[in-house]
Structure formats: structure tokens, C-alpha cells
Amino acid sequence: MDFLNFDYDEDEDENGEMSEASTSPEIQSLTDATDNTEQKAREDSSDTDLEIEDPERSFATIKGAELYTEACKLVGVVPVSYFIRNMEEPIMNLNHHGLGPKGTKAIAIALVSNTTITHLELEDNWILGEGTTYLVQMLRENCYIQEMNISNNHLNTDGAEAICRMFYYNISNVRAVQLAGNNFREETALYFSESLMVNYRVMELDLSHNEFAEKGGEQLGQMLANNESLEILNLSWNHLRMKGAVALSAGLRANGSLKILNLAWNGFGNEGALALGEALKVNMVLTELDISNNHINNEGTVKLCKGLEVNGSLRILKMSHNPVTVEGAIALVTAVRKNSKSRMEEINISNVLVNDSFIKLLDLVSEIRPELDVIYGGVGGHIAMKTERRPDAMKVIQDYVDTNKLRLWDFFKNMDKYGNMKIPVAEFRRAMLLQSKISLNREQVTELVRKLDHGRTGYVDYSHFKVAEPEQEPKVEEESEEL
């Protein structure tokens, strides 16, 4: 892999020594990477650093807090008490701790032998490329960490190289990596493209708030066409537009694993919407697409709808903050209506004001697609008119269960085919609109869902309706009492 400048062999570069950014030895002896001058300076400054009883001592015999404390002494940093207190917890949150490269090195040394931490949070710590190298070396030995967040750490090009070496050689068990806001520019897109094309471990990747543009879109599009493991990809808040947007969409067309793609706050425009529509005609894996704020107007929406008319996998489409009017909104709902294979559950056009014609169309579509929820901005042109106020859906349900001497919990339990007290929102909407015991319209059910899933988790959790059954006293047989 030429762009990495060296061969990532287990022992050393076949062509010679590694570059300075990669000359650190195996993580087992990370402590030896500190030069002699730095060690001597620390020995002389006992007022700021604790003395090391045996600088040559092997770290192989100590673990946990003791190992971390010794590592901090060696690299010359103050130990983080939170890290010491929580080393046996699965989630380690060290966000905003100001670790820097040296503090990160001490953490990396301690994590080599840690078997409990599975989720590592290191956002906003000025790790830089140097600190990233230590983390990558640690992950070669630690097979327990599954998720890692190193967003907003000024990784730049050096950090991208280190991370992509890990991706290319599949040397860690990390499944989810967050790399948002790390100043990754166009030239780093090649690193991610070439490494992720052969990676089979990473399933979730966040590259949002970076600097990928047209060239970046082309490189990442090639990656999407070849990657077979990524399921969630966040590319929001970049500069993907024009040729880059089209190339990325072309990659999506050939992709067979990605389920969630976030492209919000880029510049896809109508040309990109056309390319996405073409991709949706053949891609039957993607379930959620976010193209909010991408300069897509009604013309682009109509082009996108060509793909929605035949797609059989997409469930959630987010298109808010685009210059779309009620005409585009009608096109979206009509596309779902035309597609007998559509599995659409949510369309978010929350900034669009609709009219009565749209409402009538949506009511009609809801009869055949009760699971569909369209989030729009409101009905324009009728501010002075008062619509008929329907009773609160929750009160209607409560009146029904009271009249029939039922429990509220039992009412929801009858819809729960999984038995875990959490009903997927789409299934809940369908069940509520198709049931005949209580008369509720689309607006009432929508409002009910917002109350029961106020955190927008995608599930209606009814567990809090469960009332503990009173313990019944054991019956004493009258005959035994007479005896």
C-alpha cells in the first residue's frame, strides 16, 4: 500500500526502517520508545514526577491501576483518577480530559492487558497523529475493545495514516470507530478508500465534520463499491458535491452491506439526487438515508422518486431543510403509493408547509400503508381556520380499557409479538390504525407515538404501564381448620 510509505510487517519493514511516525516498537514495550534524554530529564525533576524505582522493570508482571501508574511515571504525566476508578467497567469515558499524546500513551499501555473495557471514549483530547499511533499499537494486542471514539482530536494526515493502517491490515477487533472533526482533507480520502476496500471488521464509521469534497467523494465511492462490512456510515457535514456526489452515489449502487447512510449537510443538489435515485433502483440493502440540507429542490426530489418507486428496502428518508415545497412532498408520498414493494416507514420533510390536497393524499395512503409517518412543517394557508379537535388518543384508550375492565398494560401487550415490552413504531402505527376496537385517525396515532416515544428511539416502550400484581394470601381450607 504505497500511500502508507511503509510495509506494516509484524517485525519490521522489508524495505528498511519505518518512518518516524511508525517507529514505535510493539505495544508490549511501548515504554521503551521514550528517549533517554526525556527519561533523564524526568529523573532530575522529582518535584513534578514520581521517581521510578526500577526504570528497567518489565511491565509484563503488573496490570491494572499499578501498570497505569507506572506508565504515567515513565512518560511524565499525571494519572487520571477517573481512569483508575473505572478500569473494570465496560465503558470508559475520557472525553475532554486533555490527555495529549503522552497521556494517551500511558492509557494505551494500561489497556494492553485490560479485558473489561469494550467501549473507549477519547473525544477532544488533542491526541494528534502521535497519540493515534499508540492507540493503534495497543489495539493490535487488545481484542476486547469493540467501539472507539477519537473524534475532534486534530489527527490530521498522520492520524489518518495510522488509523488506515489498522483498517488495511485488520489488526484490531474494533467494530465501530468515530473520527468526526479531525481535519481529514481530500488527500486522506485515498487512505480510507484503499484500506476500507479490504477491511472486513469495521461495521460502523463516522467521518462527519471533515473536509472531503469532490475528490474525496470519488475515492469514498470506490470504497463503497468494494467494501463488504460497513453497515453504518456517517459522512454528514463534509463538502461532497457535483462529481463527488455522483461518484459516491455510484458506489452506493454497487454496495451490498450498508444499511444506514448519513449525507446531511453536504451539497448533493439535483444532480446528486438523480444519482441517488438511480442507486436506489438497484440497491436493496439500505434502510435509512439522510440527505437533509443538500440543496435539493422539487426537480431533484422528482428525480429521487424514480428510485423510490421501485426500491424495496428503504425505511427512513430524511430530507428536511431542502428547498422543497408541497409539490415535492406530494411526489414523495405518491412514489411510496405506487411502489407495492415499498417498506417506507418515515419521511422527514419537517420544514415543508403542505396543503389540503397533500393531507387528503396522505390520509388515502395511510389506509394502505398505515405504518408510514410523514413529518411535515404544517398546513399552510389555513391559520385562521379552526380544525375539529379530536379527543386525546391516550384518553380514548384509557376510557376503552376502563369500560371493558382491562389493564392498560394488557392493551399494549396484545400488539407485542416479541414479548419484550418494546414495539417498533411502524408496527405500532399499523396495529393502531388497523384495529377496530377504538376509532383513531392518523393525526391521533401520530401524536400518540410522539408521546410514547418522545426520545425518538424507534420503539414504543410500554413497560411503565405494568402494575405489579398484588400477592395473594394462601387459601386455608375450611376442612383443615375444622379438624
Regarding whether 454 and 319 lie in a shared domain, the answer is no
Cell matching residue 455: 426520545
Tell me the HSE value of 351 on the side-chain side, using a 13 A CA sphere: 10
In DSSP terms, which residues pair with 234 in a beta bridge? 206, 262
Q: What does the angle CA 101 – CA 239 – CA 227 come to, to the nearest 5 degrees?
A: 75
212-255 pLDDT, tens digit per residue, is 999 999 999 999 999 999 999 999 999 999 999 999 999 999 99
Regarding whether 425 and 359 lie in a shared domain, the answer is no
Amino acid at 11: D
Last residue of a domain, one of 353, 379, 405: 379
Regarding whether 321 and 453 lie in a shared domain, the answer is no
Q: Which has the minimum average pLDDT: 31-35, 375-379, 470-474?
A: 31-35
Does residue 200 lie within any of the structural domains? yes
Phi and psi dihedrals of 283, rounded to 5? -80, 120
Residue 170 exposed, middle or buried by CB count within 10 Å (0-12, 13-18, 19+): middle
- Cα 371 from chain centre: 24
pLDDT at 407 (0 to 100): 83
Q: Which has the minimum average pLDDT: 31-35, 354-358, 419-423?
A: 31-35
Regarding whether 424 and 366 lie in a shared domain, the answer is no
Regarding whether 170 and 133 lie in a shared domain, the answer is yes
Regarding whether 415 and 326 lie in a shared domain, the answer is no
Q: Helix 298-308 to helix 326-338 angle, to the nearest 10 degrees?
A: 10
**What is the domain extent for residue 460?**
393-465
The model's pTM is 0.81
Does residue 355 lie within any of the structural domains? yes
Does residue 54 lie within any of the structural domains? no
Regarding whether 373 and 460 lie in a shared domain, the answer is no
Does residue 28 lie within any of the structural domains? no
Amino acid at 215: K
Regarding whether 427 and 318 lie in a shared domain, the answer is no
For residues 59 and 25, the answer to whether their CB atoms sit within 8 Å is no
Regarding whether 189 and 295 lie in a shared domain, the answer is yes
Number of domains forming the structure of the chain:
2
pLDDT at 150 (0 to 100): 98
For residues 305 and 278, the answer to whether their CB atoms sit within 8 Å is no
Does residue 283 lie within any of the structural domains? yes
253-278 pLDDT, tens digit per residue, is 999 999 999 999 999 999 999 999 99
Q: Among residues of the chain, what percentage have pLDDT more than 90?
A: 65
Does residue 51 lie within any of the structural domains? no
Pairing relation of β-strands 91-93 and 119-121? parallel
Cell matching residue 206: 463516522
Regarding whether 204 and 249 lie in a shared domain, the answer is yes
125 has a pLDDT exceeding 70? yes
Task: Kindly state the average pLDDT of the residues 405-422.
Answer: 81
Higher pLDDT, 443 or 480: 443
d(CA 123, CA 74): 24
Regarding whether 291 and 152 lie in a shared domain, the answer is yes
pLDDT at 385 (0 to 100): 42
d(CA 433, CA 388): 19
35 has a pLDDT exceeding 80? no
> CB-based contacts of 164: which residues, under 8 Å, 6+ apart?
4, 191, 192, 194, 195
Regarding whether 310 and 425 lie in a shared domain, the answer is no
d(CA 72, CA 304): 55
